[in-house]
Amino acid sequence: MFGLFFSGDDRAVGLGDQGAEGSFEEVFLDRGDVLAFGFGLLEDMLEQVLTGPHDKLGVSDNGRQGGWVFRCRADAGIGRQLTGPTTSAGFPGEFRPLIADSGLIHIHKVGSTRQAIKAEHLGVDVVIASGYEMGGHTHAVPMHTFVLVPNVTEAVSVPVLLSGGARDGRTLAAALCLGAAGVAMGTRFIASEDNADWHPATARRIVEAGEGDDTIFPGVYSPARGLKSAGLAHLMDLTRQGATAAELLEYKDAAMIRAEEEGDLDSGILPAGQVACGIRDIARVAQLVPTMAAEAAALLSRLASAGQATTAG
């Protein structure tokens, strides 16, 4: 999935690649600038990244966490297929007019039915209902996918995508049965050959993960989920010892970079979802996605036939 991520604070306006072949690694834009100049700015930036030298174009004084950070091995074809920015980590009210004017499909990620209803009232086109087991930043109030998604699909009439725990055709079929129109995966894409930007050890770590290997830790704007490591244990120690928010952030950033870029999964921190324990191979996205769709279709039609036979009998 290729998406733009807008978050509720100044630090996280990004354009990310969740597995599309050879696409962006990450592009962070300054939230204030985007709000001031609108999507024209975003399109200009995208164009610069796509046509320019595919490397770092600019870095703000906030470094990795804000301002202008482009790190990109771009595939121009994929980049230009951007059709839907995703807003998350807060109410997207101020972004809504920009996205509506741009003609792009507005996708918003929620962790509760109340947030989904609010988003629909705002005019959001698609809602991602993400459950507590999801990787990366999750929600302060734990709502698991299996409970949240049917609640949300009953409450709103816009299409709903299930996020949190999806990994194959069966989980896609289950999402459809819960009333969702599809799934938005994160962790599954980390363990893919297409995730060339991260150290190969990260994909192997996902594949090796067992039940109980994930845990919650304090994230930037909410709790986050990742795989247990010495680095994560040290973060929890620092939190208990009363480290300041800035100290924690600095430690976390450095630890995540150690994991993602250097493959140091001992002192590093790897954000990932609970579904890691069910992922058993390093996939190719170009095969994974159609295979998932075919498996889900076959499964649902088998169930439909079985249902008809039962009714007829």
Ligand X SMILES: Cc1cc2nc3c(=O)[nH]c(=O)nc-3n(C[C@H](O)[C@H](O)[C@H](O)COP(=O)(O)O)c2cc1C
Instruction: Say if residues 84 and 104 touch (Cβ distance below 8 Å).
Output: yes
Q: Rule CB under 6 A: which of 128-187 touch ligand X?
A: 130, 134-136, 163-166, 184-187
Q: Cβ contacts of residue 167 below 8 Å, gap of 6+? A: 185, 187, 188, 275, 278, 279
Which CB atom, from 178 or from 185, has the smaller least distance to ligand X? 185
What the block records as the tokens of 236 is 């929890």
What the block records as the tokens of 2 is 């290729």
| Contact string (CB under 6 A) for ligand X, positions 270-309, x = contact | -xxx-x----------------------------------
| Residue whose Cβ sits closest to ligand X | 186
Least separation in angstroms between CB 186 and ligand X: 2
Which CB atom, from 156 or from 277, has the smaller least distance to ligand X? 277
Alpha carbon distance 148, 113 (integer Å): 7
Beta strands 24-28 and 85-87: pairing type?
A: unpaired
Least separation in angstroms between CB 261 and ligand X: 13
Q: Cβ contacts of residue 264 below 8 Å, gap of 6+? A: 231, 258
Q: Rule CB under 6 A: which of 238-277 touch ligand X?
A: 271-273, 275
Which CB atom, from 261 or from 303, has the smaller least distance to ligand X? 261
Least separation in angstroms between CB 74 and ligand X: 18
Which CB atom, from 16 or from 263, has the smaller least distance to ligand X? 16
User: Within the chain, what is the greatest distance between any pair of CA atoms?
Assistant: 71
Q: Rule CB under 6 A: which of 92-111 touch ligand X?
A: 109
User: In this structure, what DSSP letter does residue 184 have?
Assistant: -
Which CB atom, from 263 or from 271, has the smaller least distance to ligand X? 271
Which CB atom, from 27 or from 46, has the smaller least distance to ligand X? 27
Q: What are the contacts of 96-101 at 24+ separation with CB within 8 A? A: 96/122, 96/123, 96/124, 98/34, 98/35, 98/38, 98/39, 99/39, 101/38, 101/39
| Contact string (CB under 6 A) for ligand X, positions 7-46, x = contact | -------x-x------------------------------
Least separation in angstroms between CB 68 and ligand X: 17
Q: Using CB under 6 A, count the residues that bind ligand X.
A: 23
Crossing angle of helices 113-122 and 145-155, rounded to 10°: 40
Q: How many helices (H) and strands (E) does the chain have?
A: 12, 13
The only residue of 2, 5, 28, 39 in contact with ligand X, by rule CB under 6 A: 5
Least separation in angstroms between CB 16 and ligand X: 6
Question: What single letter denotes the amino acid at residue 92?
Answer: P
Which CB atom, from 169 or from 273, has the smaller least distance to ligand X? 273
Neighbours of 196 (CB within 10 A): 12
Quote the strand ranges of 88-218, DSSP E. 107-110, 126-130, 136-137, 160-163, 182-183, 214-218
Residues making contact with ligand X (CB under 6 A): 5, 14, 16, 86, 88, 109, 130, 134-136, 163-166, 184-188, 271-273, 275
